[in-house]
Structure 1
Amino acid sequence: MIEIIIADDQELIRESLNILLSANKEFKVIDLVENGKEVIQSVAKRQPDIILMDIRMPVIDGVECTRIIKEKYSDIHIILLTTFDDDEYIYNSLKYGADGYLLKEVSPKELTDAIITVSKGGSIIHPSVTTKAINLFSELANQSAVNIHPGDDGVKNLSDKEWQVIEKVSLGLSNKEIAQELHFSEGTIRNYLSIILDKLQLRDRTQLAIWYLQGKNRKSGNE
């Protein structure tokens, strides 16, 4: 069962999400909170699998809360559910390690599918902001302050299939989409991704995408 904390400063939204998710036997909503400070307090007590969180909240907003949670609890998955597709929100959310970025216009099925995907180690970005996300990956890759340098041995040990998975990740594809393109199961792609991150000693698929795009940009610059 996937244990979930819901965070939104609007009571109607919190309760509506609670009703929706509690109807699914795979989910257990373990707390409802209204700001980032309460999220941090709740996480310390309850250790959820997923935090479903709004971005604009009082006291501590969703982006800053993501940074704080991921620094201390890297294995807890965070999905930001918001009405905003502003570049700065997307940029900072990805930078701090958010596993999902969805707009509140998603359907109930899209939301429940996203939670299941993220709980299994995948990531979800709302289709309307995917292009922005890819552009942001490229911008991050061009910034020397976030240069990522995995060990040479790890890079040399990557197989051709692993390179294909990395390339698809850099395009913002989900595990399901990668599986469809490479004709594998989602489970196989999750295993590939886990092995790749271990070889390169990277934290998550965001770092992986940035590292790959940095390499492409360096090659382009030398041509």
Structure 2
Amino acid sequence: MRKVQVVKVLLVDDSEAIRESFGALLATAPGVEVVGCAEDVASALAAIASTRPDLIVLDARLRGLDKGIDVLRHVRQNYSDIQVVVLSAFSWASMRKRHMDAGAVAYFDKSTEFSQARDCIVALSSARSIKASTDRS
């Protein structure tokens, strides 16, 4: 029997309601543990350094001048092993392309693709568990 490796997830969104509701949705996902939340770029960078998540669920547009893509670029430059899934209220193709080109593994629309984002994270968790078990063989 294969042991499920838990994927540590950090939620970064300027909406407390989104952090809470998506966190609750992820709490039902097998192999997923939410290890922290952040509401802006500064708190996201601090949380990344302190929790070392395996995956970040990132809002594309954070409140004020802060941009989610800045967090994504920081992660790609400094933590190549961390995956980033973007969850955004903006479903524009140009926004999606910009984040995918910057290194996101997926981009989902908050208003219509919440459950697909959860399913993607479960699939990434499962793939990580499979890789871990084959690495030990």
- 1:188-218 per-position Cα deviation (integer Å, ceiling 9, x unaligned): xxxxxxxxxxxxxxxxxxxxxxxxxxxxxxx
**Aligned residue in 1 for 2:90:** 84
Match in the other structure for 1:101: 107
1:207 corresponds in structure 2 to: none
Greater relative CO, 1 or 2 (CA 8 Å, sep 6+) = 2
> Is the CA contact 2:45–2:71 (under 8 Å) kept in the aligned structure 1?
yes
Deviations 1:20-67 (A, max 9, x none): 111224111000111122111111111101100111103531112101
**CA distance, structure 2, for counterparts of residue 12 and residue 52 of structure 1:** 14
Once the two structures are aligned, what percentage of the paired residues are identical? Answer: 26
- The separation in 2 between residues aligned to 1:23 and 1:116, in whole angstroms, is 10
2:55 aligned partner, one-letter code: I
Residue 44 (structure 2) aligns with: 39
The answer as to whether partners of 1:90 and 1:101 remain within 8 angstroms in 2 is yes
Deviation at 1:107, TM superposition (A): 4.5
8 Å CA contact retained: 1:63, 1:89: no
Pick one of 47, 64, 73 that aligns with 2:70. Answer: 64
Higher helix proportion (structure 1 or 2): 1
Aligned-partner residue type, residue 44 of structure 1:
A
Would you say the 8 A contact 2:9–2:53 is kept in 1?
Answer: yes
Cα gap change, 1:80 to 1:107, in 2 (>3 Å)? closer
CA distance in 2, matches of 1:14, 1:89: 21
- Answer whether contact 2:37 2:47 (CA < 8 A) is retained: no
Q: Which runs of 5+ in 1 are unaligned?
A: 122-186, 188-223
Q: Secondary structure at the match of 1:40?
A: helix
Larger strand proportion of the pair: 2
TM-score by length of 1: 0.50
Are the structure 2 counterparts of residues 107 and 41 from structure 1 closer, same or farther at C-alpha, using a change threshold of 3 Å? closer
Q: Which has the larger radius of gyration?
A: 1
Deviations 1:145-198 (A, max 9, x none): xxxxxxxxxxxxxxxxxxxxxxxxxxxxxxxxxxxxxxxxxx7xxxxxxxxxxx
TM-score (norm 2): 0.79
Provide structure 2 residue ranges, at least 5 long, that are not aligned to the other structure: 1-5, 131-137
Equivalent of residue 118 in structure 2, options 96, 112, 117: 112
